[in-house]
Amino acid sequence: MQQIPIGEITTNADQPRKSFYKDSLEELAQSIRERGILEPLVVRPFKGEKGVKYQVVMGERRLRAAGLAGLKMVPAIVKNMSDEDVQADALLENFQREDLNAIEKANAIQGLLAFMSWEKVGKTLGVSETTLRRSLELLELPDFVQYELTLRPDSAAGPLLGEGHARMLAGLNHDPASQRRMVDKIKKEKLNQADTEKIINAINKYPTRREAFLRVPIHVTEQILRSYGARAERAKPYKPQTADQHVKAIEKVASQLTDLIDERLIDFLDATQMNHLLATAAALEQNLDEFNIKVRKVLNQQDGFKEVYINCPLCGKVELIGSLRCSVCWSILRRCYDCGNYDRTFEKCSVYGAQVFVSDAENPKEHSKSYQCQDYRPKYETRALKTLKMVA
């Protein structure tokens, strides 16, 4: 080790680190003024311009900061090294310090591969070949994406774009315009990697909706994808074993929607919100009408089907008498006690003249006459039936 004049040392053009931030160098320069250079530079003999005798191998940042601090001499270890050793040592030092950005690392690896095998580069840096290849993939990205990876988190140019974001952006290499807009969207909306991947996959899967995916917030994108997903599912062959689960899911959502409908909210909506609400309700109504028509068509083909609505005597759920049991509480729906043909005074059916005791009329069993009676006539008309007549 020896003290060498700063003017006799030149930098290495192939140095892995390309970014030297002024504020960071100023901080280091202040430290050098107060305490000096605690760790010597590593240089090698070099024939360069007049007066230059050495080339820095490790410690370029310290050399720059020493110049800012006004030092004339710096401590350095002089070593005879080949170009291969110089680049490997410089890269290894920065890898260990973890202060190279992703693009600097990728460029350095690419430089090492010019005169070293994949295996040797991996052993030198202590990483797998897979890691090396993943790093080099970043160099296939457009320059404007690579530039984002060189920015610091507190850079005035904007938030840092992570490596994970960049790898996903490779999925838009065929569409640079959308890729550039996607970069802006990630930064503006602070999208995480999962949301970024979701949007890019959506753009590639549904290119005709690209503009929508680039403009709308992530929650709207998810809503659009759910809609497309539901359509795709309906296009697939249906599995009979899922039908029961499907019905239960529809009933659950219908119940939740019924609970949500509250006319009072209209008093607090502006015209735009009410237009949106009406459009949503109208679309739902249309889908339900189409679905109901298909269900009625199938049921009407069955012998004895009558679209007679009744209220469950136990929980009040509106059901069709063809259901036999309530879908909520599983109570038997056709009770003689609620039938217009039942004579409660004499406890008998006025149609068949059969004796039906009140105890059986109020709580029928599956073997009771009322369980599947085709002449059941509800004593009171349900709201559902009144609504149905109005629509008809």
* pLDDT tens-digit map of 256-309: 998 899 989 999 999 999 999 999 999 999 999 999 999 999 999 988 788 888
- Residue 96 reports pLDDT greater than 60: no
* pLDDT tens-digit map of 43-79: 888 887 777 888 888 888 888 888 888 888 999 999 8
CA distances from 273 to 212, 217, 280, 287, 329 (A): 20, 18, 11, 21, 37
Specify the 3-state DSSP secondary structure of 324. Answer: coil
pLDDT value at position 294? 93
Pick from 99-113, 154-168, 203-217 the range whose average pLDDT is largest.
Answer: 203-217
CA distances from 110 to 56, 58, 190 (A): 21, 19, 31
pLDDT value at position 391? 47
Task: Tell me the pLDDT band of 247, cut-offs 50, 70 and 90.
Answer: confident
pLDDT value at position 17? 61
Compare 314 and 18 and report the one with higher pLDDT: 314
Q: Where is average pLDDT lowest: 129-138, 226-235, 263-272, 315-324? A: 226-235
Contact indicator for 71, 1 with CB cutoff of 8 Å: no
pLDDT value at position 392? 47
Distance CA 6, CA 349 (A): 114
Task: Tell me the pLDDT band of 31, cut-offs 50, 70 and 90.
Answer: confident
- Residue 214 reports pLDDT greater than 50: yes
The H or E element spanning position 149 is: helix 143-149
pLDDT value at position 368? 84
Compute the average pLDDT of residues 361-375.
85
- Residue 16 reports pLDDT greater than 80: no
Task: Tell me the pLDDT band of 21, cut-offs 50, 70 and 90.
Answer: low
Candidates 64, 135, 65; CA nearest to 101 is 135
Task: Tell me the pLDDT band of 378, cut-offs 50, 70 and 90.
Answer: confident
Task: Tell me the pLDDT band of 348, cut-offs 50, 70 and 90.
Answer: very high
Catalytic member of 60, 104, 148, 319: 60
pLDDT value at position 385? 56
Catalytic annotation on 27? no
Q: Which amino acid is at 16?
A: P
Specify the 3-state DSSP secondary structure of 32. Answer: helix
